[in-house]
Structure formats: structure tokens, C-alpha cells
Amino acid sequence: MEMIAIPSRQLFIDGEWREPVLKKRIPVINPATEQIIGDIPAATSEDVELAVMAARRALNRNNGKDWSSASGAVRAKYLRAIAAKITEKKSELAKYEAIDCGKPLDEAAWDMDDVAGCFEYYADIAEGLDAKQKSPVSLPMDTFKCHIVKEPIGVVALITPWNYPLLMATWKVACALAAGCAAVLKPSELASVTCLELGGVCKEVGLPPGVLNILTGLGTEAGAPLASHPDVDKIAFTGSTATGSRIMAAAAQLVKPVTLELGGKSPIVVFDDVDIDQAAEWTAFGCFWTNGQICSATSRLILHENIAAEFLDKLVKWTKNIKISDPLEEGCRLGPVVSEGQYHKVLKFITNAKSEGATILSGGARPEHLKKGFFIEPTIITDVSTSMQIWREEVFGPVLCVKTFTTEEEAIHLANDTQYGLGAAVISKDLERCDRVSKAFQAGIVWVNCSQPCFCQAPWGGNKRSGFGRELGEWGLENYQTVKQVTQYISDEPWGWYKSPSKL
């Protein structure tokens, strides 16, 4: 296996690499080998202050003409340049992603294509913004006319997770920059390498200083002071429900808007009229892709009892065929979970399920051929009741729990039996049934005869404790804009509400 060195970077503030004020750094551990492969800078509140000030200056520079009130076409040029550089560096960025978070190299390469595609998409959106400005509003009085202006919300804090390090950051960064905001990005300390490389890309393409600042570091030392900073106008967060709740509480003190994309415990409902092989592959992909670490993972299989035995037998065969290896090895389809902490957390979920009376049908332990690294076999758990922890709580690892059903009504009830509402999938050849079930799902994203596809043109986000607000598409842009109403009196006649002093 080739040894890849990660670049040694500083924080990216005001268009320059800057050493953290307190000079602290955090080791980077390759989850496949458990070896330290480098380190990243650890920002603290002192660095947050510098980054927020740099973003504010970028927003206001030249009365906003350099960025925030510049033509959308100006911003689009930078977004396209970033996309081109990401494509140029795709191979090295994918390798950094794989050794930093444990994602199979083929997946990481796919992510880089999506990163470039997302920057391109929001370049198109930015170019279309100017034509949409001053959109008229029809009024009931012909003595007035009204139009709408959309403006960037200001300085935005973007706090992102470790499962799709550069892609999740891009969902927020590309959108915020297209809208004309200036941003401070705080990626997860467990996987920040590619986000720091984005700083290098911004420098190469000449992005105006301070438009994007990148602070790596711990949530408590960098994320918390960023979320509570009085000069941040908006927070966009993707991560756990518990952290999202704390961010919302911090924002509430200053009546600051937030968008939250939080946890999930999404269902996949499989009816008895399916092609079993196809449905089994989508079921495996929906839960074991990205090493099972997906907020939208369809990790609760709700399976028609008529095909349960045959389907599970086939599903076990599919999962036994998944290549588990170092992410850089050719054909790898399941790498390690991101960290030692996550490894023990996932194994504890499996142990608890067993002690509560569930059956580990397949997997549930470290693969025998891998003595090092935070690897866990794809795990299928049956004999699950709805009161069990494994049914109710998000695992964030390659663990699928299974319940059977008899009627469509029962399947819908089981699917919606969760505090979360991010994704949901239904697999059936009966498209009218799929339509009924889709309408009944309490989720922000529904997949029919598939699981997990995501396109930057379509809205992404959840209901209930999975958060609120939508990312991606034109809906995502609205997160970073404020709406201004401009109403003009156009009559030559005086208003005439008061008696005129000139006529007294």
C-alpha cells in the first residue's frame, strides 16, 4: 500500500495561511492503519475573531462592490475556477479523503466529481441572480408599485461533518458564495484535510481575501465560539441532533437564523412483489455505503413477511460479497469507520441489541482478515422490537436492523415510528402503491425503487428531529439570502390623509 503524506497546512484566514494564535495542532489518524499521518491546526476563539473580522471586511470592501453586491456573474467566474481546480486535483484530493476519513477510494473520487459539479451548478445559479432582481409584486392600488430585492444575509458560519468532508462543505460554501455571503467554514476535526486543501484552491484562483475562511479545530474550542459570535449573521450546521440543539440554543440568544441537517433513522420498506436481487442490492447500498456513516442511511429494513426468509438469505449473500479492505485497495467497497471512538460506539450498539434479545444474523464484529484499523463487518440484526435502542437511535455505522410487516398500513406505521424524518425509501413494482407510501412517509427525502441518490439540483433536508431548512437546488440558495421589499408611491397627487397646512 502506497504511503501518502498529507500536506502540512495552517488556518486559512483573509486569503492567507495563518498559524493558530495559540499554535495548537491536532494529530490526523488514518482509520485504516491507526497511524498518525500528519496534523491539522487547532483554531480557538482568538482565531474565530480574526476569521469573522476578515469575512466582515470582505463583505463590505469597496461598499460591497468587490463581492456582496457585485454581479452574480462575477461570483460565478470564481465558482467555475474552483470547480476546474477540484477536477484537476481530483486524484490527490480523493486519496487525502480516503486516508483521512476511511472512505473507499472509488467513493472519494465520486465525491470529488460531485464537489466540482456543485460549484458549477451554483455558478449557473449565481449567473441567473441578476435577472431575478427587482421582481415586481402585483398590488391592489395603482398609486404604488413594488418590487423584491434579494440580498446576501451577510457573514455565515458553516459547520460541517466528517462523513463527506469536502462534499458537505461544498454544499454550504458554493451556495453561500453564489448568494454573495462571506463565510467561515469549520469542518469536523475528525476529517479536515480536504477542506484545508480547498483554501489552497481559493488562493490559486484568486478568490478575494476573506470571502472564505477555513478554521479547523475542536467543536468546543472553535465551533462553539463561532456559533455564538455576535458578528455572524447565520449558522448552517450538519451533524448530530445533540450538537444541532446546542447551536440552536446559542443562536437563539442573538435571534440568529440557523439551518440544521441532523441525524436520521430512515426506513426502507420492501414489498413482496420486488426483484429480490435488485432490492437486496439497494438495501445493502442504502445502509453500507460510506461505511454506513450517512445521516440519511436507510438503516431500518421493513420487510414483507411473505419474502422475509428468502430476502434475508439473499441480503446476507450480498453483504458477504462486499470487499472490506484498506480504502486505497482496488475494489474496496467498505472501509473503516472514522475513528476509534466511533468504532467502540458502533460495537456497543451491536452488543446492546444482542443483550436486548435481538439476533445478529450476519456480521457484528471486526473482519477476521483485518487485525488493524477501525473496521466493522456489515451487520444485519433481526428479531428487533420497536422499543429496542437499535430501532430507535442512529448508529452511524454499517448496521441494519430488520422488522417484518403484513399490511401496507402496518409498514407505514413502522416507517414513521421514529423521532427523525430525513429520508425514507420504498421498493415495489406497484407504482401506485409507491405513490401512496411516498405521500404517507414523514420525511424530507423519499426514494422510490432505490436508496441514497442525491443530486445538487434537488432539495435536501429533513423534518422532525432531523432538522429544518433545505440545502441544494434553488432552495439552498434561499438559506443565504434576505428578502427586501421596495415600495414606491408613483402618483403625482398628494397623499391627502392630513389637512394640508398650506390650505388652512
Active site residue 410: no
Residue 153: CB atoms within 10 A of its CB come to 19
- The three three-digit cell numbers of residue 267, written as one number: 426506513
- Taking the C-alpha atoms of residue 260 and residue 258, their distance in angstroms, rounded to an integer, is 6
Backbone Cα Rg of the chain? 25
What type of residue sits at position 67?
Answer: W
| Active-site entry in 295, 332, 434, 456 | 295
- Taking the C-alpha atoms of residue 15 and residue 179, their distance in angstroms, rounded to an integer, is 19
φ and ψ of 231, to 5 deg: -100, 15
Angle at which helices 90-101 and 105-132 cross, to 10°: 120
Residue 383: CB atoms within 10 A of its CB come to 15
Cα 225 from chain centre: 21
Handedness of CA 99, 158, 167, 418 (dihedral sign): positive
- For residues 114 and 90, is the Cβ–Cβ distance under 8 A? no
- The three three-digit cell numbers of residue 323, written as one number: 470487499
CA distance to 52, 198, 199, 277, per residue, from 202 (Å)? 17, 6, 5, 45
Cross-strand bridge partners of residue 213: 184
User: If phi over 0 gives left and psi between -120 and 50 gives alpha, with beta otherwise, what is residue 489?
Assistant: beta
CA distance to 281, 284, 310, 312, 362, per residue, from 317 (Å)? 10, 10, 11, 9, 10
| Active-site entry in 107, 261, 377, 394 | 261
What type of residue sits at position 427?
Answer: I
CA distance to 177, 244, 484, per residue, from 59 (Å)? 11, 27, 18
| Bridge-based pairing state of the strands 423-427 and 267-270 | parallel
Active site residue 408: no
Residues noted as catalytic: 261, 295
